[in-house]
Copies of this chain bind each other. A is one copy, B any other.
């Protein structure tokens, strides 16, 4: 993930993540469970972009997300990511109760 600045700030549904290590700790496990993805929309200019996408994941079949990223010197310095945690929580509970 060399496209991420070392001092990236990521505002995610569960809270604020500071630094590339925290960001990787959040995004890495997600990337592992993605089985498909398709772009809904992508717009931006030289320093800011917004993308919206559908993903299919192992626990949640339909998991759309939206990101607003700020880029400086070719690296993402800020990300605001929005997705619904409810289906992931439900899948976790279902897995826990078997």
Contacts and interface: CB of A to CB of B under 8 A. Distances in A.
Interface of A is mostly: strand
Contact of A52 (B45, B66, B85): B66
Interface stretch (A18-26, A27-35, A36-44): A36-44
A82 B68 contact: no
Contact of A41 (B11, B48, B84, B86): B48
Contacts of A50: 41, 43, 50, 52, 66
A41 to B, nearest CB: 5
Contacts of A64: 11, 80, 82
Closest 3 A-B residue pairs measured CB to CB? A43-B43, A66-B66, A13-B84
